[in-house]
Structure 1
Amino acid sequence: MKKYYFLLALLFCSVLLHCQERYFLNSDTRLYTSASASAEFSGYFKYGAEVQLLSESKNGWYKVKADNLSEGYIPEKFVATRLNSADIKVRDNENPIIEGSDNYYGSNHLFVLVAGLKARAQPDKNSKIKEILNVGDPVAVNYLPKSQEEWVNISGNFSDEYAKFTLRKFIGKRPDFNTLLKDFDKLDVNNITERKTVGERLVELAWNSETTTLAPAYQRYYEVVKQLNDPKLLADTELNMAVAKGLAKHKKPEEILAFVKKSEFVLKGLKTKAWYLTQKDLVKTFGKPVKKATVSDECGVYLSETFYYYQDLEASVNEQKNQAEITKVFINKNNKLVLNPNATLDNSLTEKAFIEKYGSYIGASIKAPHSYSIQIEDSEFKIEFKDGKLFTIEIFFYC
């Protein structure tokens, strides 16, 4: 009986060791269905992929789990507890995963092929959606199954906190914009469903490409939107077309800085120096804060970790030095931002008018609709619209 308990304890320690250690592949290899190089394989591993060991080495093979939770076998010689520059990589020329750095991503990756791709928390179509991805977005891929209907972990991480899954058929080599443009132009004008699908891909890929591609993408997509005759979609598309027009004529950084260098908030008639004022003036104008809180500032970008919260604004406050720094303002009849004597952002400003006037100064993204940025040295204004009207302006400090 003692011998039995000893063996059980030994097995437990071995399993525990594997659970605590992290294992990586120091070469390309494949996930085989059995412990033999002549066996069928389920998918491709790229150098640097992490695996979990499910067994002790047997005849030079480990049973492992890939990051998409598939199980199979790999040669023991490719398993290491760390990677280094001296690794002699055996490259698999049939492996579709793109290795290393390109203009889009710095490690093993592929690209999203479909519009509005839902990345899920588990390899299950009913699991929680963690992120919505766009055509042309690069995603981390270390293991790629052969089957187009299997799931891929596009986070490169086993951790439940970070893992994200999508089906194999939705990722691959980065789409070519001009090819997609020609594909759209070949479609029958009455094939509205397919034209909408390809049009959405064109627009998303354009946002992930040079700004010069936005105009031709929206030109095609707008044709379909008019056919659909959806008022909201029509209005949103026309707004995005205006944004694209501004981005195509984007100002140089020094021109933007010159445009906003004298910016100041006007809060209930009180002019700030840029976005700074005294703590006494803040309290005199707005009264005691609705809430005070301590906010961790690991980057050291704020005036203080003490924050005052009002209905109208938020501020970082150094009470000892009688200093306050505005971090966020809710725009209403009392509050506005004066970028310069000829440019004021107040509660009368519509989103459409903002884009028409200042479109060449702003930053924008399809992933953050109705939200824009204007750079100001080591920080930026984050400008948000709600229901077509200016809602908030936040000072976002770079770390």
Structure 2
Amino acid sequence: MKQTIGILCFLISAYALGQSKLYVSTPTVAYNDATGTTQVGIYTRGAYLENVEKVNKDVFKITNEFLGTTYILDTENLKEVLVSQDVSEASPAPIIDFDDYYGSPHLFTVVGGLKVRKEPNHQSETIGVLYNGTPVGIDYYPYDKEAWTKIQFNEGQGYIPVKYLGKRPNLNSLITSYKKATEAKDQKRFMQRIVELGWNSNDDDNAKALLIFADYADKNAQPERAAIARLQSEVLKAIPEDEEFDKTLSLISKKLFGFTLNNVIEPKKGFSLATLEKTFGKVKDSYAHLDDCALGDYESNILFASAECIGHDINKTYTLRIVQMGNGAGFKINNSILDENTTEKEFLKTGKGLINTILSTDKAYQIPAGDSAYRFTFKDGKLNKIELIYFC
């Protein structure tokens, strides 16, 4: 008898736990209480609700540790599993269901340098920053403009004020506002938004934003930043077409593109272990991951103090994969050798017509090479690291 009761209790508990997590099948209004006195927000299709409690057959209560409690009266909109046959209405304004920038309900950041907080308050730890014009997925949109909303961020979650979300900013409108501004603080604010929106836009708009910034930097005694912005704009305008990506492979075949040690370009089968150890020191470790598509049979990653290469266990070949600049390590592009003294400006001039990606937040640039790409990272204005990235 006791055993039977125990099993029943377990089954009831399991069912209750199963009911504590549900999905929203169509945009659904959230209320402040179980009687639906006031609408306080909207849950979008696909929203995953945790800590759901069934108050009665017509009301569900949703509790969030930081955002408080809301109630859903349209209980037929909550389901354990979403299917394509679900009937879903369009989300109410200002929520955007999908566009060219994001494929599910979202809004855009409308300010520059928006801080993402660990908890929904301005005193909480900052865990990251979002550029102006960044699309942000929305599960719940609160109507209180002083409220915060939870977002997915860096494989985790964070919080941002909902008042800084809206429709995508318009670059031309921002440029007009910048040109009309007379106060230095307003010019700086608009310029930050222009530059950040540029990085979140297509290459043409990005190039346009960079030229506006270059003009601003010149007027504010920042000639180095102005020069780099102009060169970046030129690089974006000169990005190779798809059919021109083979240009890098052609340079590689002519031994005009690749890692170098003491100005000697890496042989097709790599440098000898003795040569590598002379530059980078003794091998520190080796490892191999099954999901690392760069590795073939009998291959592993070999670690040095300031480099990493792919080693073949049987053939004893070693090809460079990641190199920290210094101690004779460098990189050849055409007839130029890049090293730890290479400036960002020099690299942009050398790589123009080959570079296809600028990673502004990482201070890095990429040059494609077949199914891979070389990433050049800068620190304090100088070339710091080069990494060969494989696309699987």
State the TM bucket, normalised to the shorter chain. Answer: 0.7 to 0.9
Structure 1 window deviating more from structure 2 (178-187 vs 21-30): it is 178-187
3-state DSSP of counterpart to 1:17: helix
Q: Is the contact made by 1:113 and 1:171 (CA closer than 8 Å) also made in structure 2?
A: yes
Q: Is the contact made by 1:144 and 1:152 (CA closer than 8 Å) also made in structure 2?
A: yes
Residue aligning to 1:17: 16
State yes or no: 1:357 paired with 2:353: no
Q: Is the contact made by 1:382 and 1:394 (CA closer than 8 Å) also made in structure 2?
A: yes
Residue aligning to 1:40: 38
CA RMSD of superposed structures (Å): 3.1
Q: Deviations over 1:4-32 (max 9, x none)?
A: xx99x969954883368531011111110
Residue aligning to 2:178: 184
Distance 1:15 1:25 in 2: 21
State yes or no: 1:385 paired with 2:378: yes
Residue aligning to 1:88: 87
How far is the alpha carbon of 1:180 from its aligned partner? 1.8
How far is the alpha carbon of 1:98 from its aligned partner? 1.2
Residue aligning to 2:96: 98
> Number of residue pairs matched?
380
Q: Deviations over 1:227-284 (max 9, x none)?
A: 544x5xx53343123212221222224434324433233324654234x426555567
Distance 1:187 1:72 in 2: 43
Q: Is the contact made by 2:263 and 2:337 (CA closer than 8 Å) also made in structure 1?
A: no
Aligned residues with identical type, % of pairs: 25
Distance 2:225 2:210 in 1: 11
Provide the TM-score with structure 2 as the length reference: 0.86
Change in Cα spacing, 1:116 to 1:16, as seen in structure 2 (3 Å) is farther
How far is the alpha carbon of 1:43 from its aligned partner? 0.8
Q: Deviations over 1:38-74 (max 9, x none)?
A: x211111111111124422414111113696331110
Residue aligning to 1:193: 185
3-state DSSP of counterpart to 1:374: strand
Distance 2:162 2:322 in 1: 42
3-state DSSP of counterpart to 2:156: coil
Aligned equivalent of 1:107, options 101, 104, 109: 104
Distance 1:220 1:278 in 2: 46
Provide the TM-score with structure 1 as the length reference: 0.84
State yes or no: 1:394 paired with 2:387: yes
Residue aligning to 1:167: 161
Change in Cα spacing, 1:80 to 1:312, as seen in structure 2 (3 Å) is closer
Change in Cα spacing, 1:153 to 1:321, as seen in structure 2 (3 Å) is same
Aligned equivalent of 1:52, options 33, 50, 53: 50
What are the within-5 Å matches in structure 2 for residues 1-399 of structure 1? 14=13, 17-18=16-17, 22-37=21-36, 39-65=37-63, 69-74=67-72, 75-92=74-91, 94-100=92-98, 102-155=99-152, 162-188=156-182, 191-226=183-218, 228-229=220-221, 231=222, 234-259=223-248, 260-262=251-253, 263-268=257-262, 271-274=265-268, 276-277=269-270, 280=273, 282=275, 285-286=278-279, 289-303=282-296, 306-332=300-326, 334-340=328-334, 342-362=335-355, 363-369=357-363, 371-399=364-392
Structure 2 gaps, min length 5: none
3-state DSSP of counterpart to 2:26: coil
Distance 1:307 1:33 in 2: 56
3-state DSSP of counterpart to 1:56: strand
Distance 1:269 1:216 in 2: 37
Q: 2:332 corresponds to which letter in structure 1?
A: V
Q: 1:28 corresponds to which letter in structure 2?
A: P
3-state DSSP of counterpart to 2:224: helix
Q: Is the contact made by 2:47 and 2:140 (CA closer than 8 Å) also made in structure 1?
A: yes
